[in-house]
Structures are given as C-alpha cells and as structure tokens.
Amino acid sequence: MTVAKGPGPHEKPAQEEPGLAGDFAQGTPGPSIADIAAGYAEKAGLQRNSHGHVDILKSAGGFQGIAESIVPGLVFLIAFMITKDLAASLLASLAAAAVFTVVRLVQRRPLTQALAGTAGVAVSAWLANTTGKAEDFYVLGFYTNSAYIAGMLLSILLKWPIAGLLFGFVRNEGFEWRKDPERLRAYAIGTWVVIVVLALRLVVQVPLYFMGEPGLAALATMRLIMGAPLYILGLWIAWLLTRPAPGQKPETDPQPSKPSSSD
C-alpha cells in the first residue's frame, strides 16, 4: 500500500487553483440577491434611489434622457410649421438627435439611449420622406406601442407579468413573488397600468394621424405630452399599486456601505 508523502523540507506546499472552491475556502461570499437585483434593474433601465425604491426620473433617463426623447420630434414640428419643407424639417430633427449623441460622447456616458433615439428618428424620417407625408414621421410609434402592448398582454397570460420581472428585482424579491397569488395579481395589475398608458396613446393619436396634415400639430403635441411625462406617471402608479402589503415581505433597503479600513 502506498502512503502519500507530504511536502519535503525544501518543497512548497501545493497551492489550490483559484476558482469557486478557493473562494469558498477563503470565505468569499457570492453575489447576493441585492447584487443580482441591481444588475437586472440596470439592464432593464430601472434605477433605485437611496431609500431602495425605484427612481422614476432616473429610470426614464433623467432630464437628459427625457430631452433626447422629446427634442427631435419638437424640432421637426417647429421646422415644418415654419418652412413647410419636409426634407429640411427631417434633417433638422436628425441633427438634433445627433447633437445628443455628441453630447454623450463628450460626457463619456453610455451611448445606448442616444443611439437608439437617433435610430428611431432616422427610421421615422425615412418613412416620412418615402411617403412624402409629414404625419408619417410619427407612425413608427404606433407599431412600437402595439408591440409593447402585445408583449405585456402575453406576459400576463403566461403569468410572468412584466411589472413583476422589473419591480420584483428592484425590490429584491427575485422570482419569489410568483409563488404568492396576491403578489402575482398585484404585478399583473401593475402591468395593466402600463398597458392602459400605451393604449391611451393609440386611442388619442391614431385618429389625429388619419386627419393628415391638418392634425399634425395636435398629433405632435399629444406625442410630446403622452410620451415621457405620461410614461413616468404610469410607471409610478404601477410601482405604488404593486407595493407589498404590511403582512407580506417588505421591500429590502439598500445594502449599507462597507466600513472603511480605518473603521
């Protein structure tokens, strides 16, 4: 029988390979539910404030993000009302969207939101330029809203409501809310709130679109009012309606900051 020998007097003990085993041996904690929640919320565009609640303004992109969603359409409307030149108005709108991208480059901030906005403006401009109708600058939003409504309705039918997927992670509930019928119902209601907001856009704006150029000013105005401001309001109402009841699992406060080495 062979007996395993330990390291000799001049030999160094074998070092453990780094990895999960090493982490557990050294007592390194894995990612907590709060860490996972923060990562998921960041990818979804949701932000938490210092009290652990959803920050509606930051979730909408902050003042700069709201401006990025409003200004290009506003520039198009003003330019077209003044010049009646569709091509020039579309170029002005694209230039406004491009300016925000440059601003983000200078600020060294993520370009995702600005590039997505620029792409949306570019497609809208292409549609309007192709048909020669100024009102077609806003038609892309109808298809986008319809797609969101369909996706959210499907999420409710599948019992994976979108509000639960987003807010559940912000509240550090993970997927545990699906095991509680009351929480599942609450998040379904929250999702319905967002659906109503999107449906209202279609109900109000589609008739204005079919009015043609005479309804362009009203259509553009409703697009601005029912854009970011209405979205923020709907998101906030959905957050309030889905708050856990006093007897249910409370929302988790943010993790305390780590003490410094001097402490």
pLDDT in tens, 4-50: 444 454 444 444 444 434 443 444 455 544 454 445 445 445 555 54
Q: Are 145 and 195 in contact (CB under 8 A)?
A: no
| Cβ-Cβ contacts under 8 Å for 53 (sequence gap 6 or more) | 170, 239, 251
**Tens digit of pLDDT for each residue in 47-83?**
555 444 566 666 556 677 778 878 888 899 999 999 9
**Mind listing the pLDDT tens digit for each residue in 91-123?**
999 999 888 888 888 877 777 767 787 888 899
Residue 242 pLDDT exceeds 60: yes
pLDDT higher than threshold 80 for residue 259: no
pLDDT given at position 37: 46
What are phi and psi for residue 20, nearest 5 degrees? Answer: -65, -40
Average model confidence (pLDDT) for the chain?
77
| pLDDT at residue 247, as a whole number | 59
**Per-residue model confidence (pLDDT) at position 18:** 43
231 pLDDT band, cuts 50/70/90, is confident
* Mean pLDDT (whole number) for 165-192: 90
Q: Using an 8 Å Cβ cutoff, are 124 and 140 in contact?
A: yes
Mean of the pLDDT values across residues 248-263?
46
pLDDT of 205 strictly over 80: yes
Looking at the predicted structure, is the pLDDT value of residue 191 above 60?
yes
Strand positions, DSSP E, the chain? none
Is residue 92 within 8 A of residue 75, CB to CB? The reply is: yes
**Residue 168 reports pLDDT greater than 70:** yes
The 3-state DSSP class for residue 258 equals: coil
Contact 193, 238 (CB under 8 A): yes
Measure the CA angle with vertex 27, ends 174 and 34; round to 5°.
20
